[in-house]
Amino acid sequence: MNPRPPLPPRRRAGSLRIPSIYVGFGLTWVLLSALWRQGGSFRVDRDALVLTLFVLLSAAVLHLLLRRDEARDEVRHRTLPGPTREDADAALVEALSTARERALLNDAAVASSANGIAILDASGNVVQANAACAAMLRRDAGTLVGLHLESLMEPEPDSAEPGSDLAATPSRREFVVRQGATEVHIHMTCSPIPGPDGTLACTVAVLEDLSERHRQEERIAHLARYDLLTDLPNRQLFIEQARGAIARADRASLQVGILFLDLDHFKHINDSLGHAVGDSVLRATSARLAAQLRPGDVIARFGGDEFVVLLSSIHDSAEAGALAKRLLAVHEEPIAAGGILHHVGVSVGIALFPDDGRDLDDLLQHADLAMYRAKADGRQTMHFFHRHMDELAVRRGSIERALHSALAHDEFRVVFQPQLRLSDGALIGAEALIRWHSRELGEVSPSEFIPVAESLGLIRPVGVQVLSRAARQAAHWDEDGLADLRIAVNLSMAQFRSHDLATELAATVAAAGRSATRVELEITESMLAEDADRAARSLRTLHASGFELAIDDFGTGYSSMFALQRYPLARLKIDRSFVRDVESHASSATIVRATVELAHALGLSVLAEGVETEAQEHFLRDVGCDEVQGFRYARALEVPAFEAWAKRYQARHPGASLVLPEIG
């Protein structure tokens, strides 16, 4: 606090009053005695009387003036004892200059404030505004004066206290100022200032720019509802929109289409070319898919390479089918990424409200099932949901549950199917094939449970168990002198992908007491297609560990003979679908003949699978096929049955037919 300025010293009371009375009486006395001396008597003429009265009056006035000053001093000194008048004047001057400095400082502070500050009159019109305020309102500071502040902004829709008189009451509200595409979001606090009489003198409005915070909030809200990579709606937003569309379609008796999309072989792109290329393929594909939609339809990314389309109101299934065809056509236009052109195919499953489900969860699940069916149909195709798919899904669920305990309960067995050399009919090998008798489900075919075991991640221990049992059995037959059989074991995709595969398999075979050189591993063309370089490395490691390598189901995939040269293969196993048709389809016969010729040219031997008839055997012999396997000779047999069959087969005299009657 500033010290109080010193006051002028106090005058002594009555110091002038007494002399002034004496002067008055003295003057009167001098006048009267002068009159007396003039005539020896009192002659009161008019002039003398006037003069006397004037003198008396002057004395009285002088007295009163002096009395008033004294009274003032008295009052001042009774309240603030001490300083003199000069001191008070000096203090006043100093106070004024301090106040001026303060006012200048205040003005500077207001002018440089980052917040907008405006002073409003009682009607809410701008009297004064700083530069920040003008900038927020997108105006020049000079043009603001006289304008009604509220007329320059729009209230935010959810701002509190709509319609209250800003200038008159303390308030906090949010506004937006629009200029073209830009928006300034403002938080305004109004503080009314009352005058001396208690009425409103002015209002101070403080404006804070919330635009950056708004942008951040909007970004967070966007991220919560849109996919980061493709900027398509995410699952959560899709679910909200689809539920709304279903409710509307229900009222209008319309249908809603849910299309489940999965890109074909996308994993291959991601694994072989890296995630950056995978991401750019995903972005480009999603943009192309989105471009096929009608206005109002929605495409969302559900994760990975899965997309879901919502057709909000359709009249029949043909409309959904037509759109699905357009989506399938994105395959035709290649996408350039990672220096390669990719033809990205898509498999589409379709479910319709209300026929295929009345709630969204059912519809999504059914569209997903239909999509899996499209994949199984060879990909790059579409499938509508049918009720029987539900049964398939239920069956798959039961298999999944039963598989979990199958290993622990030792429910798997291995059976053996003989392999014969065509030239001399010798029994040269056996393919080990898994069998599963589930406690709950009974006998389940490997074609049905192996893909499920694969998707559950159970195939690796299962595969090792098959190899171990097959190798142990073969070692036992070696010792027994039954036959020196090459044992063929199937590898699954998941096994083939594991990096320490060769070590694991070599250890398994060694532990079983068999040489890896008498074990053949069967892989399919699709395993090679996934990542050709990695596949080549894996095959070379397996080969170096001593294993023989064969391509199973040859002809159903897309491997070229040229590509096969780079792999250390021993054999091609021609798929039984070609063998089955060699008599009826000229093309199958041509394929089998060409395969044998080219394989031989590459130094590979050829085994024909699924030989069932004599005619097939003749054909294969004619084209120079090396080995055969099929029901014509024997089915896959349990160990005792296989041993009995092998003994009888080897006991037949040389040159006899390769066929033995089935064992009962």
Residues at the contact surface with ligand C2E, assessed by CB under 6 A: 417, 433-434, 445-447, 450, 463, 466, 490-492, 522, 552-553, 576, 609-610, 612, 629-631, 636
Question: Of ligand C2E, Mg ion, none, which one does residue 230 interact with (CB within 5 to 8 Å by kind)?
Answer: none
- Closest CB to Mg ion among 609 and 627? 609
Q: Reduced to 3 states, what is the DSSP secondary structure of residue 545?
A: coil
- The distance of closest approach from Cβ of residue 488 to Mg ion in the complex, given in angstroms and rounded to an integer, is 7
List the single partner that 463 binds among ligand C2E, Mg ion, none, CB under 5 to 8 Å by kind: ligand C2E
Nearer to ligand C2E, 301 or 576 (CB): 576
626 binds Mg ion (CB under 5 A): no
552: contact with Mg ion by CB under 5 A: yes
- When asked if residue 627 is in the footprint of Mg ion (CB under 5 A), the reply is no
Query: Distance between CA atoms of 421 and 628, rounded to whole angstroms?
Result: 7
Which of Mg ion, ligand C2E, none is residue 450 near (CB under 5 to 8 Å by kind)?
Answer: ligand C2E
CB of 586 to Mg ion, least distance (A): 23
Among 297, 553, 626, 643, binds Mg ion (CB under 5 A): 553
What element of type H or E holds 421? Answer: strand 412-421
State the nearest-atom distance from the C-beta of 217 to ligand C2E, in Å.
Answer: 53
Contact 361, 264 (CB under 8 A): no
Closest contact distance (angstroms) between CB of 283 and Mg ion is: 39
Between 331 and 576, CB nearer to ligand C2E: 576
466 binds, among ligand C2E, Mg ion, none (CB under 5 to 8 A by kind): ligand C2E
Q: Contacts with Mg ion: how many residues (CB under 5 A)?
A: 5
Nearer CB in complex with ligand C2E: 129/574:
574
CB-nearer residue toward Mg ion: 153 or 433: 433
Half-sphere exposure of 45 (CA within 13 A, CB side): 7
C-alpha torsion sign, points 160, 166, 169, 175: positive
CB of 431 to ligand C2E, least distance (A): 6
Closest contact distance (angstroms) between CB of 297 and Mg ion is 43
Report the distance separating Cα 230 and Cα 236, nearest Å. Answer: 15
Quote the least distance from Cβ 630 to ligand C2E, whole Å.
Answer: 3
Match 């009720």 to its residue by tokens. 387
Q: Which amino acid is at 504?
A: E
- To ligand C2E, the closest distance from the beta carbon of 467 in angstroms equals 8
Q: Can you tell me the distance from the alpha carbon of 349 to that of 368, in angstroms, rounded to the nearest whole number?
A: 6
Subset of residues 92 to 121 that bind Mg ion, contact rule: CB under 5 A: none
> Contact between 368 and Mg ion (CB under 5 A)?
no
Nearest-angstrom CA–CA distance, 10 and 237:
86
Q: Is 209 in the site for Mg ion (CB under 5 A)?
A: no
Nearer to ligand C2E, 321 or 446 (CB): 446
With respect to ligand C2E, which residue has the nearer C-beta, 117 or 636? Answer: 636
Smallest distance from Mg ion to CB 526, Å: 12
**Distance between CA 417 and CA 570 in Å, rounded?**
19
Q: x/- contact string, 464-493, with Mg ion (CB under 5 A)?
A: --------------------------x---
Least distance (Å) between residue 464 CB and ligand C2E:
10
Under the binding rule (CB under 5 A), the answer on residue 419 touching Mg ion is: no
Q: Which is nearer to ligand C2E, 20 or 524 (CB)?
A: 524
- By the 8 A CB rule, do 83 and 94 touch? no
- Footprint on residues 120-159 left by Mg ion (CB under 5 A): none
CB-based contacts of 90, cutoff 8 Å, min separation 6: 5, 6
Closer to ligand C2E by CB, 312 or 417: give it.
Answer: 417
Residues 6+ apart with CB under 8 A from 59: 20, 21, 23, 24, 25, 27, 28
| Residue 171 or 417 having the CB closest to Mg ion | 417
Q: What H or E segment, with its residue span, contains residue 399?
A: helix 387-406
Smallest separation, CB 254 to Mg ion (Å): 48
Q: 218 vs 75, 153, 211, 215, 456, CA distance in Å? A: 69, 21, 10, 5, 40
The entry of Mg ion, ligand C2E, none near residue 541 (CB within 5 to 8 angstroms by kind) is: none
525 is an interface residue for Mg ion by CB under 5 A: no
Which listed option, Mg ion, ligand C2E, none, makes contact with residue 483 (CB within 5 to 8 Å by class)?
A: none
Nearest 5°: CA angle at 203, between 201 and 209? 170
The pair of three-digit structure tokens given for residue 359, joined into one six-digit string: 């709630």
Exactly one of 209, 297, 305, 522 binds Mg ion (CB under 5 A); that residue is 522
Q: What is the 3-state secondary structure (H, E, C) of 653-664?
A: CCCCCCCCCCCC
Nearest to ligand C2E of 150, 553 (CB atom): 553
Half-sphere exposure of 549 (CA within 13 A, CB side): 22
Q: Write out 35-69 in H/E/C secondary structure.
A: HHHHHCCCCCCHHHHHHHHHHHHHHHHHHHHHHHH
Helix 387-406 vs helix 446-455: crossing angle, to nearest 10: 70
Task: Give 201-247 as a 3 state SS string.
Answer: EEEEEEEEECHHHHHHHHHHHHHHHECCCCCCECHHHHHHHHHHHHH
Q: Shortest approach of Mg ion to residue 642 CB, angstroms? A: 16
Residues 341 and 333 sit within 8 Å (Cβ to Cβ): no
In the complex with ligand C2E, the residue whose CB is nearer, 262 or 609, is: 609
User: Which residues bind to Mg ion, rule: CB under 5 A?
Assistant: 490, 522, 552-553, 609
